[in-house]
Amino acid sequence: MTKYHAIRDQLLDRLDTMAPGEQLPPERVLVRELGVSRMTLRRATDELVASGVVRRRPGAGVFAVGPKLDTALSATSFTEDMRARGLRPGSAILSFERRAAGARIGRRLEVSPAADVVHVTRLRLADDEPMSIEALYIPEGTVPGLSPEDLENASYYDMLRTRYDVTIARGVQTIEPTVTDEEESDKLGVPLHSPALLFERTSWTAEGAVVEFVRSIYRGDRYQIRTELSVPQ
Ligand code: GLP
């Protein structure tokens, strides 16, 4: 194991005993305590910053970050997911438009390219902290009269159930690694090209109608996927 990996592991052990938001001792103290060079310590800390275990606040120091949020592979809504963790869900509308589906989205929504769709982008927040950006596409006929205000700090899935009497019966989701572009970094409050998870979800009603195609970018420093493994019999 290289020297800086060993230091990284020592820092990780130390962070295990710390509360989120607690500050690591200053660099000069750690250098002395761990008996390493400033450069090795920096390298180890940089790696922890990149993987989201600690956050560096310029001029203030390095702080412990809480554990990542485990996201399960189920058709849960962001709102339900955050509530189940005791976090306050929020959303800010970044854009809202009605337009023709076009070939690519039309294929995803199983409608013709000329069909009207509602396209909404939302910043999703947990206790006011930005977590993800979602680009949601809905066939216009599924949500007549939907306005941006309806979705501000509200759940789309709740709205489908209560206002449009639509229940999601089936979903398919893909997950890929990606990095944040300029706009995403700005909205999510992370450095340019930060690691992120790209989720693409399509959901259907029991009758087989598509009710959403969603492209969500989740912060890689705050999210991990947890899945129960079935054992082949
Ligand atoms: C998750 C899913 C999206 C879905 C959304 C609905 O974030 N990745 O595909 O559209 O939940 O959430 P809500 O009901 O809170 O708007």
What is residue 181's predicted lDDT score, i.e. its pLDDT?
Answer: 95
Decide whether any atom of ligand 1 lies within 6 Å of the 137 Cβ.
no
Secondary structure percentages of the chain, helix, strand, coil, to 5: 30, 35, 35
Decide whether any atom of ligand 1 lies within 6 Å of the 213 Cβ.
no
What are the structure tokens assigned to 113, written together? 């390219």
CA 54 to centroid of ligand 1, rounded, Å? 28
Decide whether any atom of ligand 1 lies within 6 Å of the 77 Cβ.
yes
CA 70 to centroid of ligand 1, rounded, Å? 15
What is residue 198's predicted lDDT score, i.e. its pLDDT?
Answer: 96
For residue 72, give the amino acid letter: A
Decide whether any atom of ligand 1 lies within 6 Å of the 157 Cβ.
yes
Decide whether any atom of ligand 1 lies within 6 Å of the 216 Cβ.
yes
**String of DSSP letters for 87-114:** --EEEEEEEEEEEE-HHHHHHHHTS-TT
The answer to whether the beta carbons of residues 122 and 83 sit under 8 Å apart is no
Ligand 1 atom with the shortest distance to the CA of 199: 8
Give the mean pLDDT of 63-92. Answer: 88
Domains 3-64 and 69-225 share a fold: no
Bin 93: left if φ > 0, else alpha if -120 < ψ < 50, else beta: beta
Q: Give the C-alpha separation, 140 to 17, whole Å.
A: 51
Highest average pLDDT, of 46-50, 64-68, 85-89, 107-111, comes from: 107-111
Decide whether any atom of ligand 1 lies within 6 Å of the 155 Cβ.
yes
Give the mean pLDDT of 115-137. Answer: 96
What is residue 52's predicted lDDT score, i.e. its pLDDT?
Answer: 84
The ranges assigned to domains in the chain are 3-64, 69-225
Task: Quote the strand ranges of the chain, DSSP E.
Answer: 54-57, 61-64, 69-71, 89-100, 116-126, 129-139, 170-179, 195-204, 210-219, 223-225
User: DSSP state, 66?
Assistant: P
Q: Give the C-alpha separation, 136 to 96, whole Å.
A: 10
What is residue 139's predicted lDDT score, i.e. its pLDDT?
Answer: 97
Q: Give the C-alpha separation, 214 to 133, whole Å.
A: 10
Report the top-level CATH class of 3-64: mainly alpha
Q: Indicate if the pLDDT at residue 96 is higher than 90.
A: yes
Hey, whose CA ends up nearest to atom 8 of ligand 1? Answer: 216
- Which residues on neighbouring strands pair with residue 129, listed in sequence order? 126
Is 69-225 in CATH node 3.40.718.10? no
Residues 6+ apart with CB under 8 A from 24: 11, 14, 15, 18, 30, 45, 54, 61, 62, 63, 64
Hey, whose CA ends up nearest to atom 11 of ligand 1? Answer: 77
What is residue 199's predicted lDDT score, i.e. its pLDDT?
Answer: 95
